[in-house]
Structure 1
Amino acid sequence: MKLYISRIILGLFLLCSPFVLAQHLSKNQFKVKGNCNLCKERIETTAKKAGAKTANYSVDSQILTVETDDNVSPNEILKEVAKAGHDNEKFQADEASYQALPACCHYERNSTQTSEEHHMHAKAENEFYVKGNCESCKARIEKAAKDAGADSAEWNAEKQTVALNFNSQKTSADAILKKIAEVGHDNEKYKANDSTYKNLPSCCLYDREIPFGETNPKVHTEETAEAAHNHNAGTSHEKNIEGVTVTASKASTSLNKKEAGLIFNIDKKELLKAACCNLSESFETNATVDVSFSNAVTGTKQLKMLGLDQKYTSLTKELLPEIRGLASAYGLNFIPGRWIESIQLTKGGSTVTNGYESITGQINTELLKNSEKPETSLNLFADFNGRTEANITSISKIDDKWSQTFLLHGNGTFGDTDMNDDGFLDRPKGTQLNAAYLLNYNDLEKSGFGSHFGINFIKDERTAGQVGFDKKIPQDKQSLYGVGIDISRFQVWNKTGYVFKGKPYQSLGWMNQYTFHQQDSFFGLRNYSGKQHTYYSNLIFESILGNTNHKYKAGASFMYDGYDENYLTQNFKRNEIVPGAFAEYTLTGLKYTLVAGARIDFHNLAGTQFTPRLNFKYDITPQTILRLSAGRGFRTANIFAESQQYFASNRTVQILENGGNIYGLRPEIAWNYGASLQQEFKLFGRKSSIIADFFRTDFQDQVMVDLDRSPQQLTFYNLEGKSFANSFQTQWDLMPFKNFELRFAYKYYDVQADYLNGRRAVPFMAKHRGFVNAAYSTNKNDKGGFWSFDTTLNIVGKQRLPDTSSNPSQFQLAAYSPSYSVLNAQISRNFNQKIRAYLGGENLTSYSQSNAIVDFKNPFGNYFDGGMVYAPIMKANFYVGLDVTF
């Protein structure tokens, strides 16, 4: 009987022991830097050797999850992980350990470590991060530590750490840090009460923008499942350890070293360097994109990349088609600068998952939707020539899963600006009302679902032409030349993604968008109007083949465009229906990354189109990266919408049909090839980089816009012969001393085409361009205030101008334009984290084109032409602005 009872007791003990043991295991999460599956294996193995019962590392989220018993210190695990070469939230790997890692494991070291200014180094066992600012802070922190039972305490202002010596039988690090927070000092475990912090002496008010931590701190990671198609959606992970969340000051513009393609990430901090009232002005401090006026009457701006017009670059918003079709001419004005969270700029062939229209690259804009706390911002802007703008942005959390963003923009131009005294407005007058609402759902951790919904409405009305023109009076009832442009635009979209449970590498995403665009306009006595209905859908599945070194995406897309255009008395109506399918494979090796993709689209008017694209990256060394790319793209030309800059003239439109189904023309098809070399090095003890790239675009077919056949004609026809664009750019980024950034760039373009009159250089494209950008900011004061100074110099070489030799001599232009320079500058003052004021000037060299409008005295005559623009129209202009965050 006793034996029977003992067996029962033993069985119950064995049955319950796992649960008893489990109660003594604690689950912790750490931020650890890694780059690939080799990193994952190394980190997990090291953690287990250091005493972790279980260890699981996610390369995507950069989070190491471990289970430990009471006998194992989390610090010891992190210390061993750092010795293995991996920076983490408490310890930084030494340079030798990092360099000993394979090339594929060389992660970006400045993305989780603080910048040089914060002096964050590895800590000793009983050394803890504590925020402070001066000698008074030191005395207060050390006294609080001793009051909590510490035998001794020494706070280091430079490292922002306190070294403690205490008897663990009498007190604990947790109790000491809690006491330090109670006297007003944030630390890696506890956050001080706001009222306590505010009651500190002014000299003690440290910068709280970069928090060390709080009770149950959250480590914020970027959701990488592309199926969610929300590259800015954040997820959070709870941890209950003595951890530290350290945020680096990222470069305002950076090149993504991990991507096979040449992709630049432009942060909203970069957009604050200039006026940046809309997307067309967001690239004034960027060397890759050329911004120029396209018309002397309507004052619109256009982008050019790799030596080709904006229409050959895919312009997306939230990875959905945006500025295309009827929006081509004025669409850049429809994305306010203050709405932008980030921009991703891809040079050359982009991924096939985003469509077939990209030829020279892709520019994707992400709208504001991420904030750790509710935030409402007001921006007011005015220039000295009658332009005013106001922006209100509000981001708030509804609950743990839902968040929302309200975006409101209004602008008006009310002054008559005519700096060159030609009787024409240098820029149109009018107003724009732009409103958007974004709703985000994020439950990726639990259910695996994430979703983003958006709606946007725009009403834009512009009047241009001769000073004194009254839009309310019918065109034929007044003698002045006028231009009227009224645009209404509505969009609604949704992106939903699902990440499979237990398979963070496998996801499914679906994007849908509907766009309605209507334009009613007149240019003198010429009328142009158009309506466009667009529906776009894209379904993407992403997974791996065996392991994460072999990834693939596959999916299907659908595009519908309905166009109804009227030019003069002619009506042009068509429906484009394009179902398509695509697949993309990514191979990641020790030193290389290969992305190969292809798509097939069944266009009802352009026929079946096959689009292959290839991107290859090879890490010669961790600091030397070679990239190669090749790909095909095709698009259908919207000849009227894309050539509106020439409507403000007396050119007659002629279409030489060539058997195509769109305006009688064939679609445009081009191949793009590119190579780039990126070299990083240390200069003045700081990171510096040089990038050189060369791209060539060869058109298999192209819709030619011929301005040379006759100054009184605008002729469209398909290419017969060759058309190509060679683009070379080199860029050098450096920091000579703290807080001072310099960027130098040189660009060379050779863009030629076979016109009906022979091979010519494409007009309005300078062969040589230079670029210099300098940015300096002062250190923050005790209230978080600082000054910023930014200046940008653009040097533009001579450009070929359209042939006007058949005009009377007084209306002829030179064969080439003169070279010129444009200087922009801005000074801004951040008074604290909530108020910022800025003053700036554009075109401070005051260079302007003297003959922007040909025969401006006779706008209804045969020789009037407002489309011959190669330089700024307006002289120096100054502006002021104010940003307030609530």
Structure 2
Amino acid sequence: MKTLLKVLFAFSLLTTQFLFAQTLTKSTVLVKGDCGMCKERIETTAKKNGAKSAEWSAETQKLQIEFDPIKTSTDKILKEIAAVGHDNELYTAPDSVYEKLPGCCHYEREPSFLKTTKTETPTKADKEFFVRGNCGSCKTRIEKAAKDAGATSANWDAETQKVTLDFDPAKTSAEAILKKIADVGHDNELFTTSDDVYKNLPGCCLYDRVLPFGVKSDLVHHDEPAKPKKDFSTFSEHYDKSIEEVRLTKIQEATALNKKSADLTFNINSKELLKAACCNLSESFETNATVDVSFSNAVTGTKQLKMLGLDQKYTALTKELLPEIRGLASAYGLNFIPGRWIGGIQLTKGGSTVTNGYESITGQINTELLKYNENNESSLNLFVDANLRTEANITSTQKLADHWNQSILLHGNGTFYKADHNNDGFLDQPVGNQINAAYLLNYSDLDHSGLGSHFGINFLRDERTAGQKGFDRKIPQSQQNLYGVGIDISRFQVWNKTGYIFKGKPYQSIGWMNQFTYHQQDSFFGNRNYDGKQNTFYSNLIFESIFGNTNHKYKAGASFLYDRFDENYLIQNFKRTETVPGLFFEYTFTGLKYTLVAGARTDFHNLAGTQFTPRLNFKYDITPQTILRISAGKGFRTANVFAENQHYFASNRQIQIIPNGGNIYGLKPEIAWNYGASVQQEFKIFNRNSTIVADFFRTDFKDQVLVDLDASPHQLLFYNLDGSSYANSFQTQWDFSVAKNFDVRLAYKYYDVQAEYLSGKKEVPFMAKNRGFANLSYSTDKNEKGGFWNFDTTLNLVGKQRIPDTSSNPEEFRLPQYSDSYATLNAQIARTFNKNIRVYLGGENLTSYTQKNPIMDAKNPFGNYFDGGMVYAPIMPANVYLGLDVNF
């Protein structure tokens, strides 16, 4: 009998152990990482420390593990994962280990996943939980719900977004308490409240549902669809999933320098754009120190950008990474992208990637249009200024079905007041109107099929009239004595971008971009007519993969550009067709503290010949807070001498082209090298974040089409460079916070831009050597109803500029050799009443500084000395505007 009992007892013990051994615990935890190497390191470490299975996703930052609780625990696994360099919700990796990870593995460490404020291997605080709320009413509601669910005490803090609970585990549980809190309207780390309950909360209680816990936002709230057990500790990142790459930008920062990028790239989001009037792309940089914006002439009122001391034509201006403002669109293209259509801007100084083409010399500015982002959003914007410039924008982004969404973008503007503040008889700005419409259709199933596609179509019609006040557009110029300017532009675009990520290989993808553009301009400047048509087709195929591991990435591909130009100037006709097939390759090597991007492309231009374009960018992280970048690269472009210099057409200068054996207007293409270096330093001041960036760039032209205004006040000469031409640019910028919600940006720029003209080496005109910049931005905390104020002001100091030689004119029509220095001040006050309504009031050029007599011999516009192109300062005095944003 005893023997039988021993056998039964042993069998029972073995059976129990077997059953327990086969009972695996499943757990999902948050672990930070960035790439395929991170995935391998995290999963391998988990399995080495007892996990039967481990699956980590870079997209969700979640690790799913199965383990035998007798042999290991979540705590042990996460502790070892932190020890190899990956922050998680229980432990923080040592700084020394994190810094030794390969560069591609350097994930963003803020905000933290930790469920405690400790930074050294803390244990989980079982009675502290994240709960969203906004005010005192939220505190009362959360604490009451917790007690109704069995908590003996509950204390919720609005600043940390944490509730501290005390309860008897025999009577209730944290899960039951948090479910009750969600039922009354408050999202937490285990449960998401329903939209119906959330929307019925008082206005003061409508907290932000898109930010991680512990992060305050002054952004307008947008509802999120309810999802069970939604995790709110993920990064506060905005994902821009273009075909070519994924960009990550913290949404708290209006302008952020991309720390991971080897080149000097600034990401500008909608929060920055709202600081200014921002009616179109040219006004989107008023609070940015890198780009200089100025009027190009005193008649048509157009604005031009300058970067690194050189004209806009040397900067690649793209939309959705496709060619945009170039060719015949050069003069007025900045007016074609309404500010309220812009979802974000990426601004790169110096040589950019070879995958985007060969035309970038001083940098690239890429504009991303508004797209659907988790929630249906529609908005109306209305704008009017003191000169009766009016605008209306309607934008709507909507989900159509699983994986499908659309954007509808509508814009209309008109200028009706014939302003002549300086009483010279000429309008200070053109009158006219624009109608602009775009439709975007997007498909994305990257997680399953790996396929994504983006389709867009855009139509624009713009009509402008300028000149003397009494000019009648309905009467031909030849039949009236008053000087007039008429500019009519029609533009149509259709494009598609399609990409595929290979299954099981998140590092390998292929993308194909295609775009067709039709642009027509009919214009006259007094008795001088200029008409042009341009048909452009662009195609770019990019394949991306790795050599061995993600430390060695590469991109390879082929592009094709077709341009057909048909221009009429006076009685001359200029036709040409440019076909440019090209091949490119780019290699990225990521080391422990450095990133090297080296690329080259060869383009077979039918008129400019074969062109080889190499580019290199190198980033070295001296420390996590000190980053050094250097770059070097070549670019080339073909000059469109008429379209790019229309701002000189409002004069009686006679145009002359001095040919040099080239195939484009008899001129050779422009070729230049750009070299640059920058240092980025982050530090704390008054215990607040602060960043200083200092950079120096030099552009050396090997071939250039010079625009010579000095040979004679009566001539405009175009010819190829014979000698040296260069631009030196130095800029230092300091961004810091003076106090809570009070941000300051200070910058100084120095330019040395010179070229050898026929008359000798001279400074390039209309380029100030010294510029100063200051931007101050302050916002109040939200009140109980969710309202707050924004205050923003920008001061620009512009030094003296060289003016083209007019010494051969009669004395009354001579200009000084250098202009005076001046300052402009822009400011804006905005009031957000709740998540749906925003009103803003602003002023431009509040110093009211204007150039005296910007039009030479304005009383005799058909005489020899008439010239409206000698502009170095603002033409319009102080201007006030009012705007309204309504979100639906």
- The two structures have a TM-score, normalised by structure 2, of 0.91
Inter-CA distance 583–501: structure 2 relative to 1 (3 Å threshold):
same
Give me the whole-angstrom Cα distance separating, in 2, the residues matched to 1:22 and 1:335. Answer: 62
SS at match of 2:110: helix
Whether the 8 Å CA contact 1:33–1:62 is kept in 2: the answer is: no
Whether the 8 Å CA contact 1:625–1:678 is kept in 2: the answer is: yes
- State the 1:332 CA deviation: 0.3
Whether the 8 Å CA contact 1:85–1:94 is kept in 2: the answer is: yes
Q: Indicate the residue corresponding to 1:44 in structure 2.
A: 43
Q: Indicate the residue corresponding to 1:428 in structure 2.
A: 430
Inter-CA distance 632–145: structure 2 relative to 1 (3 Å threshold):
same
- State the 1:167 CA deviation: 5.2
Whether the 8 Å CA contact 1:352–1:599 is kept in 2: the answer is: yes
Inter-CA distance 281–222: structure 2 relative to 1 (3 Å threshold):
closer
Q: Indicate the residue corresponding to 1:109 in structure 2.
A: 109
Residue 143 (1) aligns with residue 148 (2): no
Inter-CA distance 248–531: structure 2 relative to 1 (3 Å threshold):
closer
Alignment of 1:580-591 (within 5 A): 580-591=582-593
SS at match of 1:445: coil
Whether the 8 Å CA contact 2:382–2:885 is kept in 1: the answer is: yes
Deviations 1:826-869 (A, max 9, x none): 00011111110000000000000012000000000000000000
Inter-CA distance 425–80: structure 2 relative to 1 (3 Å threshold):
farther
Q: Indicate the residue corresponding to 2:6 in structure 1.
A: none
Between 1:471-480 and 1:65-74, the stretch displaced more is: 65-74
Deviations 1:668-696 (A, max 9, x none): 00000001111111111011111111110
Amino acid at match of 2:133: G
Give me the whole-angstrom Cα distance separating, in 2, the residues matched to 1:834 and 1:650. Answer: 52
Amino acid at match of 2:63: T
Between 1:324-333 and 1:140-149, the stretch displaced more is: 140-149
Q: Indicate the residue corresponding to 2:611 in structure 1.
A: 609
Deviations 1:178-211 (A, max 9, x none): 1111122222222334444455556655444537
Q: What number of residue pairs does the alignment pair up?
A: 850
- State the 1:372 CA deviation: 1.5
- State the 1:45 CA deviation: 4.4
Alignment of 1:395-410 (within 5 A): 395-410=397-412
Q: 1:879 aligns with which of 878, 881, 884?
A: 881
Whether the 8 Å CA contact 2:296–2:869 is kept in 1: the answer is: yes
Between 1:471-480 and 1:516-525, the stretch displaced more is: 471-480
Give me the whole-angstrom Cα distance separating, in 2, the residues matched to 1:765 and 1:70. Answer: 71
Inter-CA distance 78–600: structure 2 relative to 1 (3 Å threshold):
same
Give me the whole-angstrom Cα distance separating, in 2, the residues matched to 1:91 and 1:842. Answer: 51
Whether the 8 Å CA contact 1:207–1:784 is kept in 2: the answer is: no
Inter-CA distance 655–623: structure 2 relative to 1 (3 Å threshold):
same
Inter-CA distance 249–530: structure 2 relative to 1 (3 Å threshold):
closer
Give me the whole-angstrom Cα distance separating, in 1, the residues matched to 2:366 and 2:875. Answer: 29
Q: Indicate the residue corresponding to 1:600 in structure 2.
A: 602
Give me the whole-angstrom Cα distance separating, in 1, the residues matched to 2:577 and 2:494. Answer: 20
Alignment of 1:611-690 (within 5 A): 611-690=613-692
- State the 1:141 CA deviation: 2.3
- State the 1:174 CA deviation: 2.6
Give me the whole-angstrom Cα distance separating, in 2, the residues matched to 1:148 and 1:289. Answer: 58
Q: Indicate the residue corresponding to 2:778 in structure 1.
A: 776
Residue 55 (1) aligns with residue 54 (2): yes
Inter-CA distance 492–180: structure 2 relative to 1 (3 Å threshold):
same
- State the 1:177 CA deviation: 1.4
Q: Indicate the residue corresponding to 1:748 in structure 2.
A: 750
Q: 1:341 aligns with which of 340, 343, 360?
A: 343
- State the 1:26 CA deviation: 4.0
Give me the whole-angstrom Cα distance separating, in 1, the residues matched to 2:402 and 2:546. Answer: 31
Deviations 1:701-732 (A, max 9, x none): 00011001111101100111111001011111
Q: Indicate the residue corresponding to 1:184 in structure 2.
A: 185
Q: Indicate the residue corresponding to 2:13 in structure 1.
A: none
Whether the 8 Å CA contact 1:778–1:786 is kept in 2: the answer is: yes
Deviations 1:783-820 (A, max 9, x none): 22110000000000000001111111100110000000
Give me the whole-angstrom Cα distance separating, in 1, the residues matched to 2:82 and 2:356. Answer: 39
Residue 318 (1) aligns with residue 317 (2): no
Residue 217 (1) aligns with residue 230 (2): yes
- State the 1:656 CA deviation: 0.4
Whether the 8 Å CA contact 1:34–1:62 is kept in 2: the answer is: no
SS at match of 1:698: strand
Give me the whole-angstrom Cα distance separating, in 2, the residues matched to 1:467 and 1:75. Answer: 78
Give me the whole-angstrom Cα distance separating, in 1, the residues matched to 2:127 and 2:50. Answer: 19
Give me the whole-angstrom Cα distance separating, in 2, the residues matched to 1:547 and 1:381. Answer: 52
Q: 1:847 aligns with which of 849, 860, 868?
A: 849
Inter-CA distance 76–866: structure 2 relative to 1 (3 Å threshold):
farther
SS at match of 2:851: coil
Give me the whole-angstrom Cα distance separating, in 1, the residues matched to 2:880 and 2:123. Answer: 48
Q: Indicate the residue corresponding to 1:153 in structure 2.
A: 154
Give me the whole-angstrom Cα distance separating, in 2, the residues matched to 1:434 and 1:27. Answer: 52
Q: Indicate the residue corresponding to 1:715 in structure 2.
A: 717
Whether the 8 Å CA contact 1:374–1:395 is kept in 2: the answer is: yes
Whether the 8 Å CA contact 1:774–1:790 is kept in 2: the answer is: yes
Unaligned runs of 5+ in 2: 1-17, 214-225
Q: Indicate the residue corresponding to 1:825 in structure 2.
A: 827
Q: Indicate the residue corresponding to 2:4 in structure 1.
A: none
SS at match of 2:791: strand
Amino acid at match of 2:754: Q
Whether the 8 Å CA contact 2:131–2:187 is kept in 1: the answer is: yes
SS at match of 1:353: helix
Q: Indicate the residue corresponding to 1:512 in structure 2.
A: 514
Deviations 1:536-571 (A, max 9, x none): 000000000000000000000000000000000000
- The two structures have a TM-score, normalised by structure 1, of 0.91
Inter-CA distance 195–35: structure 2 relative to 1 (3 Å threshold):
closer
Between 1:247-256 and 1:609-618, the stretch displaced more is: 247-256
Give me the whole-angstrom Cα distance separating, in 2, the residues matched to 1:816 and 1:100. Answer: 52
Inter-CA distance 133–714: structure 2 relative to 1 (3 Å threshold):
closer
Give me the whole-angstrom Cα distance separating, in 2, the residues matched to 1:501 and 1:492. Answer: 30
- State the 1:35 CA deviation: 4.7
Give me the whole-angstrom Cα distance separating, in 1, the residues matched to 2:405 and 2:134. Answer: 35
- State the 1:112 CA deviation: 6.2
Q: Indicate the residue corresponding to 1:66 in structure 2.
A: 64
Q: Indicate the residue corresponding to 1:175 in structure 2.
A: 176
Percent identical: 71
Deviations 1:652-679 (A, max 9, x none): 1100011100000000000000011111
Inter-CA distance 763–168: structure 2 relative to 1 (3 Å threshold):
same
SS at match of 2:42: helix
Inter-CA distance 358–590: structure 2 relative to 1 (3 Å threshold):
same
Q: Indicate the residue corresponding to 1:484 in structure 2.
A: 486
Whether the 8 Å CA contact 1:55–1:64 is kept in 2: the answer is: no
Between 1:739-748 and 1:36-45, the stretch displaced more is: 36-45
Whether the 8 Å CA contact 1:110–1:248 is kept in 2: the answer is: no
Between 1:188-197 and 1:783-792, the stretch displaced more is: 188-197
Give me the whole-angstrom Cα distance separating, in 2, the residues matched to 1:592 and 1:869. Answer: 45
Whether the 8 Å CA contact 1:229–1:495 is kept in 2: the answer is: no
Q: Indicate the residue corresponding to 1:695 in structure 2.
A: 697
Deviations 1:336-387 (A, max 9, x none): 0000011000000000000000000000000000321111000000001110
Q: 1:251 aligns with which of 247, 250, 253?
A: 253
Whether the 8 Å CA contact 2:135–2:784 is kept in 1: the answer is: no
Give me the whole-angstrom Cα distance separating, in 2, the residues matched to 1:754 and 1:794. Answer: 30
Give me the whole-angstrom Cα distance separating, in 2, the residues matched to 1:451 and 1:443. Answer: 9
Give me the whole-angstrom Cα distance separating, in 2, the residues matched to 1:129 and 1:468. Answer: 68
Whether the 8 Å CA contact 2:102–2:591 is kept in 1: the answer is: no
Inter-CA distance 504–800: structure 2 relative to 1 (3 Å threshold):
same
Give me the whole-angstrom Cα distance separating, in 1, the residues matched to 2:835 and 2:156. Answer: 26
Deviations 1:473-503 (A, max 9, x none): 1111111100000000000000000000000
- State the 1:215 CA deviation: 1.0
Deviations 1:19-44 (A, max 9, x none): x99995647363x4335666445533
Amino acid at match of 2:498: T
Between 1:582-591 and 1:779-788, the stretch displaced more is: 779-788
Amino acid at match of 1:44: E
CA RMSD across the alignment: 2.8
Q: Indicate the residue corresponding to 1:543 in structure 2.
A: 545
Give me the whole-angstrom Cα distance separating, in 1, the residues matched to 2:141 and 2:126. Answer: 22
Amino acid at match of 1:795: L
